Structure 1
Amino acid sequence: MKNYILFAILITTFISCGKTKKNNSEKVDKSEIKEFVKNDKMDKTEFWKIIEYSIAKSNENKSEKEKVIIEKLATYKPEQIIEFELIFRQLIIEADDYKIMGAQKIIEGYVSDDSYLYFRCWLIGKGEKIYTETLKNPEFLSENINQGEEAYFEELMYVATNAFKIKTGKKDEDENFPRDIAIGKGLDYDFGAPPTKGVDWKEEELPKTYPKLWAKFN
């Protein structure tokens, strides 16, 4: 009888522990991605919130990240989608610095007008902390990205346009679309872009300028 009681206690304890573990696991799963709460104002805080949410939902899959951003952005008012584009362009222009270009050269091995633009899009798509810290010191990337990661995110240039089409039902771009309005406000990151900030570099200087990046990617 004593053995039977002891066996029953052990079984009960085992089941109880199993339930506890399961409940804890479920609790973690539910809290992994915070619920997205939209604000009425589109500012940099809201911009980064959308980016961070897309990172959490996409597991660094760029196609999925693009999809999440467009879906969320399309729930805002047209003028807020335009504001998103304005903020995006401000960040692209802010990141136009020779030290960022040097980081791209080390990571990807080459730099062109298009690849440099897509690299800055990728940097924004990595989230506020990586973007901000990298602008301070590109060596920050040495411990915050993986070798072999594709350091470009061209699709980010079109998310506001696609979200605007969904929101307004318009299929063809006109002067009321985010990109045209942004260019009209002087936020051109292409032919009319401001001069690149900082000091230009020579390739042979990069190993000493960014030793951690150089050690990781060369």
Structure 2
Amino acid sequence: MDETEFWEIVDSTREAAEGDPEEHADLLVERLLGLDPDSVLDFARHFEARYNRAYTWELWGAAWVLLDGASDDAFDYFRCWLIGQGREVFEGALHDPDGLAELLDEFDEEIDGDGEELGYAADEAYEQLTGAVAPDLGIAAQSAEPAGTAVDFEDESVLATRYPNLWTRFRP
């Protein structure tokens, strides 16, 4: 599976889910079940590589603004959700996290930002197809610390300065 096919699967299942993150995960599993196990593992590798790339302080700060706080787990789920938003939003957010203010049509912190189930979709599909747990993907684990310069999440003035567009659009 190449990168284009990976993003096509993400996009088509997101569009069919019409904004429902749980439905998106269910549709993704269903779509992956139509593939052979090796292709499911390829999908998982693409997903994991992007998940690790998104482990940055800058992106965590953007998640903090959007979610009004983001614990370690919340940021993990946010990165899965971000991948689920498709290539344009994902790559745009990596390039300029504050640019999410223009890339997102809407954002409801009660619904959006939590893609936990998307993170498990390939594992679930692989297990259903083979009856076995997915093997190690051979991808280096993410580093202990996010990439980039740390952000002081507790200082709202720092967040408002670093993420002016997100702050203006999504914070009261």
- Residue of structure 2 equivalent to 1:76: 35
The higher-RCO structure (CA 8 Å, 6+ apart) is 2
- Residue of structure 1 equivalent to 2:151: 201
Percent sequence identity is: 28
Contiguous gaps of at least 5 residues in structure 1? 1-41
- What is the TM-score when the length of structure 1 is the normalising length? 0.71
- Residue of structure 2 equivalent to 1:8: none
1:56 and 2:15 correspond: yes
- Residue of structure 1 equivalent to 2:169: 216
Separation (CA, whole Å) in 1 of partners of 2:147 and 2:66:
20
Shift in Å at residue 61 of structure 1? 0.9
Q: Deviation string for 1:135-159 (max 9, x for gaps)?
A: 1111221121424242111001111
- Residue of structure 2 equivalent to 1:92: 51
Amino acid at match of 2:126: F
The secondary structure found in structure 2 opposite 1:181 is: coil
Separation (CA, whole Å) in 2 of partners of 1:157 and 1:198:
23
Shift in Å at residue 66 of structure 1? 1.1
- What is the TM-score when the length of structure 2 is the normalising length? 0.89
Q: Deviation string for 1:147-179 (max 9, x for gaps)?
A: 4242111001111111112222x1x52xxx1xx
Separation (CA, whole Å) in 1 of partners of 2:49 and 2:2:
12
1:151 and 2:101 correspond: no
- Residue of structure 2 equivalent to 1:181: 136
- Residue of structure 2 equivalent to 1:116: 75
- Residue of structure 2 equivalent to 1:125: 84
Amino acid at match of 1:72: R
Largest Rg, 1 or 2: 1
- Residue of structure 2 equivalent to 1:166: 128
Shift in Å at residue 187 of structure 1? 3.5
Separation (CA, whole Å) in 1 of partners of 2:139 and 2:29:
24
The secondary structure found in structure 2 opposite 1:197 is: coil
Amino acid at match of 1:209: R
Q: How many residues align?
A: 165
Contiguous gaps of at least 5 residues in structure 2? none
Shift in Å at residue 100 of structure 1? 0.3
Task: Let me know the Cα RMSD of the aligned residues.
Answer: 1.5
Asked whether the equivalents of residues 57 and 146 of structure 2 are also in contact (C-alpha less than 8 Å), the reply is yes
For the structure 1 residues 160 and 147, does the alpha-carbon distance in structure 2 shift closer, same or farther, using more than 3 Å as the test?
A: closer
